[in-house]
């Protein structure tokens, strides 16, 4: 048979380790009973979990997902009786959800090779839910595979972590992301500059990079943020406060301050090194290079003020007052 069977896994650029772990388990028919996929958001963990569920139950292939068979199709549409997805309800995953899944898992697969239970944001399991999972992880039926997903490994109970095979989702280097985007069927035709920017800003995540390139809303928002940031850095006379109030209404205020901080950081780095390659916001390279009239100390002070504001923003303070105070400090 053609090697279409491993199609899918090979698309996980930069996640060779995760792919290798699964392919090994599949090809030797020695799947672990529990995997824990961990790494920051937007690194493709959920997509990978679905692919793994398909590969485990694919009717055509022993080492991957064909994408065409009844089983692959059903899993993709969320209709497969042997694949269960558990997501947080509200702020956590409740014991009742685990109980239901365990009840379903108490009998053998209907159609597939194995029953697969995917637990999204597994670190949000309540303590009773985690304890209930622990019991089944200690004595799992042979036909059951758990795929746990977390963006915060440190919050997972050690007793659970120690019973899973750990599958890391790493930060993908920007040049690999750029290469991926360039070769992408739909996105490859975008201007190279835009692809480079997305790869640099994606924080090691292919998913994030794709989102950046394909979202015009994202580009527009960025334009607006840059305008405001420049006005703040250059102390222009525009009415920054009313712009910021708008953002407050859109609940984008922290988003904006993250952006402002990254611009300030870029200005600081460029002023002290004159090294273009260290600038993160490369789509504003020329503008950042052009901001020259701020001293190193002043920029550093601004960064600290923004950081302090962000740190306190979770507190029940009067946001308007806090913002006014911040703007005065940034201007001063």
Residues at the contact surface with Zn ion, assessed by CB under 5 A: 58, 60, 66, 69, 72
Q: Which is nearer to Zn ion, 48 or 180 (CB)?
A: 48
Q: Which residues, 6+ apart, have CB-to-CB distance to 321 below 8 Å?
A: none
Nearest-CA neighbor of 261 among 280, 275, 242?
A: 280
Rank residues 7 and 69 by Cβ distance to Zn ion and give the closer one: 69
Name the DSSP class of 84.
E
Three-class secondary structure of residue 69 per DSSP: coil
Q: Cβ 64 to Zn ion, closest distance in Å? A: 8
Question: What's the closest the beta carbon of residue 22 comes to Zn ion, in angstroms?
Answer: 15
Select 58 or 101, whichever has its Cβ closest to Zn ion.
Answer: 58
Q: Label residue 291 left, alpha or beta by phi (over 0 means left) and psi (-120 to 50 means alpha).
A: beta
Residue number, 68 or 307, with CB nearest to Zn ion: 68
Identity of the residue, 69 or 234, whose beta carbon is nearer to Zn ion in the bound complex: 69
Whichever of 60 and 171 has its CB closer to Zn ion, that residue is 60
Give the CA angle between residues 220, 224, 226 to the nearest 5°: 115
Residue among 7, 47, 6, 35 nearest 206 (CA): 47
- Closest distance to Zn ion from the beta carbon of 72 (Å): 3
Q: Least distance from C-beta 67 to Zn ion, angstroms?
A: 6
Closest CA to 68 of 54, 49, 50, 47: 54
Contacts of 166 (CB under 8 A, 6+ apart): 35, 36, 38
Residue 279, helix vs strand vs coil? coil
Minimum CB distance to Zn ion, residue 291 (Å): 55
Least Å from the CB of residue 75 to Zn ion: 9
Closest approach of Zn ion to the CB of residue 207, in Å: 24
Q: Residues near 275 by Cβ (< 8 Å), separated by ≥ 6?
A: 269
Are 84 and 115 within 8 A, CB to CB?
Answer: yes
Closer CB to Zn ion, 26 or 288, in the complex: 26
């Amino acid at each position: 048979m053609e090697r279409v069977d491993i199609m899918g896994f090979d698309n996980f650029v930069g996640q060779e380790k995760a792919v290798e772990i699964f392919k090994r388990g599949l090809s030797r028919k020695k799947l672990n009973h529990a995997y824990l996929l961990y790494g920051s958001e937007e690194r493709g963990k959920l997509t990978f979990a679905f692919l793994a569920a398909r590969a485990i139950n694919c009717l055509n292939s022993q080492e991957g997902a064909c994408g065409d068979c009844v089983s692959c199709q059903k899993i993709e549409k969320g209709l497969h009786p042997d694949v269960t997805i558990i997501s947080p309800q509200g702020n956590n995953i409740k014991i009742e959800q685990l109980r239901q899944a365990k009840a379903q898992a108490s009998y053998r697969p209907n159609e597939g090779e194995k029953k697969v239970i995917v637990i999204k944001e597994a670190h949000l399991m309540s303590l009773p839910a985690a304890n209930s999972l622990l019991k089944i992880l200690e004595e799992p039926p042979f036909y059951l595979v758990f795929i746990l997903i977390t963006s915060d490994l440190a919050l997972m109970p050690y007793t659970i972590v120690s019973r899973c095979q750990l599958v890391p989702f790493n930060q993908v280097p920007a040049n690999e992301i750029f290469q991926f985007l360039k070769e992408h069927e739909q996105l490859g035709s975008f201007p190279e500059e835009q692809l480079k920017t997305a790869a640099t800003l994606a924080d090691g995540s292919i998913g994030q990079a794709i989102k950046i390139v394909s979202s015009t809303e994202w580009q527009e928002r960025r334009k607006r943020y840059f305008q405001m940031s420049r006005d703040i850095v250059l102390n222009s006379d525009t009415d920054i406060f009313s712009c910021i109030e708008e953002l407050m209404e859109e609940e984008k205020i922290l988003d904006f301050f993250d952006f402002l901080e990254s611009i300030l950081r870029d200005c600081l780095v460029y002023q002290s090194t004159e090294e273009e390659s260290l600038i993160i916001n490369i789509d504003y390279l020329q503008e950042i290079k052009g901001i020259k009239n701020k001293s190193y100390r002043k920029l550093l002070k601004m960064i600290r003020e923004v950081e302090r504001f962000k740190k306190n923003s979770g507190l029940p303070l009067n946001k308007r007052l806090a913002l006014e105070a911040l703007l005065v400090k940034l201007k001063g």
